[in-house]
A and B are shown apart, each in its own frame.
Chain A
Amino acid sequence: MKSDGASKLKSVLAGGGFAVTAECGPPRGANAEIIHRKGEWLKSCVDAVNVTDNQTAVVRMSSLAACLHLLELGIEPVMQMVTRDRNRIALQSDIIGAYSLGIRNMLCLSGDHQSLGSQPEASNVFDIDSVNLVHAVRVMRDEGKDMSGFALNGAPEMFIGAAENPFADPLSYRVVRLAKKIAAGVDFIQTQCVYDLPRFREWMRMAREEGLTEKVYILAGITPLKSAKMAQFMATKVAGMDVPEAVIKRMAGVTGPKAVEEGLKIAIETIAELRAIPGVRGIHIMAIEAEERVPDLVKAAGLMPRPMK
């Protein structure tokens, strides 16, 4: 089922709707069943589904292929692309190809360093960075030219996203970088998962003061915790994550299925808080191999029905 229109995610956001996106990690193998199963869980509870690009520097089914599997299910994908593994030639070529196949949204990232992944002996590319990638896609879309200035026979009209991490350092500069991404041409931002609400509010305040929330749609990241161990792991082992002590303590007070429930409860409370922050235009749920829990979360957060028309 090929999408022949424009990005539905864009129309939801442009129409003033509060968008819900979710992340779907492709399988570590050629079994497309897994992507179909995840797609079925997410199909009726989100507006679009992000497909990660070898996240955490672990080899998985390519983002482009997994996006096509979702398209076949009638789901609108957001193709993630990292600059770690491909040079500018391969990136542009894949973007053009993806658009021709019906992909309308993409997310431009640098990617986790390969030393953190399953093949640390690999070399990386990093020919360009994520801001350069945003810029390249915008020029392809708006001017119909590739990075060499060549006039393309058919421009990829992508809705362009990027990530921001309000919890990485230095905080004061995070908004400067966001402004840089906006100037480069980004349309929407999906943030790293929010556990530290005060810091997120501070970042949003700075973004509002600079007038950035008028220029970009910000979707706040949500990852429901499953256990105290997971909270601890996220706090200490995941690049760019910030889990406050209070959240870790709260998770430590419960075990087993009760912990899963507590994690959902925290996520629901966080979503309610996020919706009240001016400039937050949606949420992006990264369930990390627990996509089956996303429908319950979206329902409990009062964000159904989906996808929005």
Chain B
Amino acid sequence: MIVAKQKPIAEIKEMLRPYQKVLILGCGTCVKTCFAGGEDEAATLGAALRLAFGQESKSIETEELTVERQCEDAFIQEAAQAVARNEAVLSLACGAGVQAMARRFAKSVLLPGVNTTFIGVLEKPGLFTEECSGCGDCDLDTFGGICPVTRCSKRLMNGPCGGSKNGKCEVSPDIDCAWQLIIDRLTALGLQGNLKRYIPAKDWRPSLAGGPRRLLREDHVI
């Protein structure tokens, strides 16, 4: 899923200062799962903002609404009337959702309420970890299901570097050395041969380095 973190209330407040009537638009998929922007977060944020502005004697009207997904037109339409009723929309969706909304509602001010962080998993309750960079050319078969592009701080294809110590990365003791994980897993699977293979310089064209990407599925074009 896409993992995001709600922006600090002070930052959101400054963004909203010019407006009287604001729609806080939640998104019911990824950001709901990571507690950044679902119905509950939209309601809590609305209350917190009214309270914060109230302390400054500035009145602000907030309306809260959550759609299933802000990255798809079919769901976005449900918010059309609410968007029209307000001066600005604080979107709690990821950056894709914010931009999809902006594209759909050309005359409305769209403001981001969360910082989109990464594609990751729920590792355990309350802990989300980054697993994929969307590099566009998946080599997880070579690396035993552990991605060096994302999980090695130096994106090494032929790791580990000289900073790996006790299974931890030189960047932080909180980060596992991806290469230690790769070596352990390939060894456990009897695939040590993969470790001896020279991995050539990666072709980054399928990644963001090649410019913003698009995926056209001819078979689904209407």
Enumerate chain B residues within 8 angstroms of A239, measured Cβ to Cβ.
162-163, 165, 170
Contact of A169 among B158, B172, B177, B200 (CB under 8 A): B177
Enumerate chain A residues within 8 angstroms of B154, measured Cβ to Cβ.
83-84, 110-111, 113, 124, 126, 129
Q: Which residue in chain A gives the minimum CB-CB distance to B165?
A: A169
Enumerate chain A residues within 8 angstroms of B201, measured Cβ to Cβ.
88, 127-128, 132, 135-136, 147
- Pair A180/B196 contact, Cβ less than 8 Å: yes
- Pair A116/B171 contact, Cβ less than 8 Å: yes
Please give the residue numbers on chain A whose beta carbons come within 8 Å of chain B beta carbons, in ascending order.
83-84, 88, 110-113, 115-116, 124, 126-132, 135-136, 147, 163-165, 168-170, 173, 176-177, 179-180, 183-184, 192, 239-240
- Contact count A vs B, C-beta below 8 Å: 97
- Pair A113/B196 contact, Cβ less than 8 Å: no
- Pair A112/B163 contact, Cβ less than 8 Å: yes
A-B contact pairs, 27 of them (CB 8 A): A84-B154, A110-B156, A110-B161, A111-B154, A112-B163, A113-B154, A124-B154, A127-B201, A127-B204, A128-B157, A129-B154, A129-B156, A129-B158, A130-B161, A131-B158, A135-B198, A168-B161, A169-B164, A169-B165, A169-B177, A170-B160, A170-B180, A177-B159, A177-B160, A183-B198, A239-B165, A240-B163
Enumerate chain B residues within 8 angstroms of A136, measured Cβ to Cβ.
201
How close is A242's CB to chain B, nearest CB, in angstroms? 8
Interface centre among B161, B195, B196, B199 (most CB of A within 10 A): B161
- B147 located at the interface, meaning its Cβ lies under 8 Å from any Cβ of chain A in the complex: no
SS class, residues of chain B in contact with chain A: loop
- Residues of B158-201 at the interface with A, using a CB-CB cut-off of 8 Å, are 158-167, 170-172, 177, 180, 183, 195-196, 198-201
- B153 located at the interface, meaning its Cβ lies under 8 Å from any Cβ of chain A in the complex: yes
How close is A239's CB to chain B, nearest CB, in angstroms? 4
Enumerate chain A residues within 8 angstroms of B171, measured Cβ to Cβ.
113, 115-116
How close is B154's CB to chain A, nearest CB, in angstroms? 5
- Pair B200/A135 contact, Cβ less than 8 Å: yes
Number of chain B residues whose Cβ lies closer than 8 Å to a Cβ of chain A:
29
- B155 located at the interface, meaning its Cβ lies under 8 Å from any Cβ of chain A in the complex: yes
Complex: A278 Cα to B155 Cα, angstroms: 35
- Pair A126/B155 contact, Cβ less than 8 Å: yes
Enumerate chain B residues within 8 angstroms of A124, measured Cβ to Cβ.
154
Please give the residue numbers on chain B whose beta carbons come within 8 Å of chain A beta carbons, in ascending order.
153-167, 170-172, 177, 180, 183, 195-196, 198-202, 204
- Pair A179/B196 contact, Cβ less than 8 Å: yes
Complex: A129 Cα to B204 Cα, angstroms: 13
Enumerate chain B residues within 8 angstroms of A111, measured Cβ to Cβ.
154
Q: Which residue in chain B gives the minimum CB-CB distance to A129?
A: B156
Interface centre among A163, A173, A179, A192 (most CB of B within 10 A): A173
Complex: A126 Cα to B177 Cα, angstroms: 16
Enumerate chain B residues within 8 angstroms of A126, measured Cβ to Cβ.
154-156
Enumerate chain B residues within 8 angstroms of A127, measured Cβ to Cβ.
201-202, 204
- Pair B163/A129 contact, Cβ less than 8 Å: no
Complex: A53 Cα to B102 Cα, angstroms: 44
Enumerate chain A residues within 8 angstroms of B198, measured Cβ to Cβ.
131, 135, 180, 183-184
Enumerate chain A residues within 8 angstroms of B166, measured Cβ to Cβ.
169
Give 20 new A-B contacts, CB below 8 A, not counting A110-B154, A128-B202, A132-B157. A84-B154, A112-B170, A113-B153, A115-B153, A115-B172, A126-B156, A127-B201, A129-B155, A129-B156, A131-B199, A132-B201, A135-B198, A135-B200, A164-B162, A168-B165, A173-B160, A173-B195, A176-B195, A177-B159, A177-B160
